[in-house]
Amino acid sequence: MTEGLTDDQKTFADSLDRLLTDTLPFARRQAAVATPGGFDEDVWRQLVELGCMAAAFPEEHGGLGGGPEELMIIGEKFGRHLVTGPFLASVVLGGHAVLFADSDAWKARVLPGVAGGTKKLALAWVERQARHDLHDVATSVRAANGRWVLSGRKDVVPGGAQADVIVVSARASGDRRDRDGIVLVAVPADAPGVVRLDERAHDGNRVSTILLDGVEVDETQLLTTPDRGLAVLERVIDHAIAYVCADAAGSMWQVFETTLEYLKTRQQFDRTLGSFQALQHRLVDLYIDCELSWSMVLDATQALDTPQRRHAVSSAKVAVGESARRVAEEGVQLHGGIGMTMDVPVGHHLKRAVVMNASFGDADHHLGLLASSPVSRESNHV
C-alpha cells in the first residue's frame, strides 16, 4: 500500500502507525470517545508533534510542504486505528477552506496555529433543505450600514464543538439554489449571535448545529468574493472526500485483516472456520474490495489538483463508500455474535463506514453529478 510514496512519506506512515499502535489501543480509543470532546487529547498532542496537522500545508503557512498524499497517508492510518478527533474538521475542511480561499490576512492569522496544533477550525456547509447539494445555501450574509450580518442555520458541522473559528458558506446574492453569489465567511466561534448545539456522530466524533442569529461580521471576514465561494467550497469538499476515502480504505483493510485472522483461529465443527470454502470465498471478496478501493483512493488523491478532479473524486466516493459499507457488514457477520459487541472494533468500523456514506454526498448524489457531467457523455477511458 505504500507503492509510489517517497522514502520520507513511507517513514512518516510507519511512524504514525507505530504511534497509534502504541498510544491508542482499542480500549483507550473507546475511553476517549466517551469523554466530552470525544477524542484523546494526549494522543492528539503526539500527533501534533509528529507533524500530522502541519503535513499538508505549505511551509509559508507553518506547514511541512506536503499535500494530498500526506492527507491520504494520515487518513489510511486514522481509519485503521479508528482515530477520533477534529483532524478532518480542522485540518482538511477548515484549514483547506482558508488555504484555498483568497484572504492572505486569514491565512496568516489561523493557518500557522492549525499546523502547530494550537488552533482548531471547522467548516459549516450543510443545511436542512440542501441535503447533499453544496450550492443550496439559505444562510445569508447581507450588507447593513457598512457591516455585514450573517443569519441562518448550519447542521452536522464536524468539529463544531471544538473550533475556534468556523468557516461558513453563506449567500451574498441570488436565489437559494444559484451557483453564483456564495461566499465563505470566517466566524470566531465566540462571536455574539453564534449558538452551538453539539451532537455525536455514530463514529464517536462530535458534530454541531450552528445557529447564526444576526452575527455581525466585517468585510475582512469574507474569505471569497461571491463568484468564487462555490468553487473554493467544491475544491475543499473534494479534498475531504479523497481524505475520507483513504480513511475508509484503511478501515476496510483493518476489518479484512482482523476477520481473516479471526476465521483462521475460531473453531466450530472441530475445524477452523477459515477452512470452510463458503467462508474462504467471502474473505476473498473482502480482499478484492480492499485492493479495488485502494486504487480508487490513489486515483482520487492524485487527481485533486488536475482537471480530472471532480470525476475521480465522485467515482471514488461511490466505489469506496459502497465497498466500505459492505466490508464492514461482512466483517460483523463473519465474526458472529462477538461481532455485535461494543468491545470488539469491527462494529465501530461499520459505524465509521455509515458516517462516511452519509457525509459529503451519498452514492446517488455523486452518481447524479457524474451522470450529468459532460465527461460522462463521451468515452472517458484514459
Partner 1 sequence: MCAFYLPGGGVSEDIEQFREEVRVFIREALPDDLRRKVRREHAGFTPADTSRWMRILHERGWSCPSWPVEHGGPGWSFEQQYVFERELALNDAPHVSVFSAGMVGPALIEFGTEDQKERFLPGLANGDIILCQGYSEPDAGSDLASLKCRADRDGDDYVINGSKIWTSDATWANWMFGLFRTDSSGRKQHGITLLLVDMATPGISVHPIPTFEGGEELNQVFFENVRVPGANRLGPEHEGWSIGKYILSLERFGSAEVSRTMAMLDRVREIAAREPLRDGYLIDDADFSKKLVRAGIALRQVELTERRLLFAADDLGAEASLLKIKGTEVQQQVISLMVEALGPYGQLDPEDMSARDNAPLPDAAHHAGKVCFNLRKSTIWGGSSEVLRNIIARSVLELRS
Ligand X SMILES: Cc1cc2nc3c(=O)[nH]c(=O)nc-3n(C[C@H](O)[C@H](O)[C@H](O)COP(=O)(O)OP(=O)(O)OC[C@H]3O[C@@H](n4cnc5c(N)ncnc54)[C@H](O)[C@@H]3O)c2cc1C
The residues binding ligand X (CB under 6 A) are: 266, 268-269, 273, 276, 278-279, 333-334, 336-337, 340
Residue 264 makes contact with partner 1 by CB under 8 A: no
Give CA–CA dist 236/140, Å, rounded.
20
Tell me the three state secondary structure of residue 214: strand
Contact call for residue 340 and partner 1 (CB under 8 A): yes
d(CA 225, CA 228): 5
The partner in contact with residue 310, picked from ligand X, partner 1, none with C-beta cut-offs of 5 to 8 angstroms by kind, is: none
Site membership for partner 1, residue 133 (CB under 8 A): yes
For residue 344, the minimal CB distance to ligand X (Å) is 11
Nearer to ligand X, 269 or 382 (CB): 269
Contact (CB, 8 A) for 255 and 287: no
Residue among 209 and 224 whose Cβ is closer to partner 1: 209
User: Cα separations (Å) of 112 from 34, 43, 66?
Assistant: 30, 20, 14
Q: Is 128 in the site for partner 1 (CB under 8 A)?
A: yes
Among 343, 373, 375, 380, binds partner 1 (CB under 8 A): 343
- Kindly report the CA angle at 15 between 27 and 121, in degrees rounded to 5? 75
* Angle (nearest 5°) at CA 151 between 146 and 156: 140
Closest of 257, 249, 281, 285 to residue 346, by C-alpha: 257
E strand or H helix at 271: strand 271-272
Cα–Cα dist 308/375, whole Å: 9
* Residue 337 in the binding site for partner 1 (CB under 8 A): yes
Member of 56, 150, 201, 232 binding partner 1 (CB under 8 A): 201
225: left (phi over 0), alpha (psi -120 to 50) or beta: beta
Residue 274 host element (H or E): none
Residue with cell 494520515: 74
Smallest separation (angstroms) from partner 1 to the CB of 190: 19
Which residue is nearest to ligand X, using beta carbons? Answer: 336
Q: Which of 17, 164, 178, 199 binds partner 1 (CB under 8 A)?
A: 199
| Given 153, 309, 317, 366, the residue binding partner 1 (CB under 8 A) | 153
Applying CB under 8 A, the residues found at the interface with partner 1 are 126, 128-133, 136, 153, 155-156, 177, 197, 199-203, 207, 209, 211, 267-270, 278-279, 329, 332-333, 336-337, 339-344, 346-348, 350-351, 354-355, 357-359, 362, 364, 367-368
